[in-house]
Amino acid sequence: MERISWEQYFIAQARLVALRSTCTRLMVGAVIVRENRIIASGYNGSVADGDHCIDDGCYIVDGHCVRTVHAEANALLQCAKFGVATNNTDLYVTHFPCLQCCKQIIQAGITRVYYEADYRNHELAMQLFKEANVQIKKIQLKDVQIIV
């Protein structure tokens, strides 16, 4: 059996992290990678010690659950909390980042975003990534099974 590529490995890791999500609408996972090493991970979930969607339902405003912190933001906040630089890193995420996460990714200095599934891909997010020279690549997980 041939080893999986780094891209496949890290997108599989993002999918595994998503299994910790507490949002019932969409489970999202993200990992930040530097030189083929995971430096942080995050999933969409409520603030520490807060009410969770799985317990109290989603809190919907304008069609979005506002109870949770997005996976990408949680990974970036983990880096901030522990003093880990994010400049020139890669982000692997299960779903295309929303507009707000896109801006945070750019500000954090992440240079490449790999995602598995399209999800409300915002035109401005794609434009901002392009203007900031952030490479975007869709990765299909293949020959890897994560059984739930």
Residues classed as catalytic:
72
Query: CB–CB of 113/97 below 8 Å?
Result: yes
Contacts of 16 (CB under 8 A, 6+ apart): 29, 146
Taking the C-alpha atoms of residue 28 and residue 110, their distance in angstroms, rounded to an integer, is 18
| Tokens coding 120 | 């409300």
Query: CB–CB of 98/123 below 8 Å?
Result: no
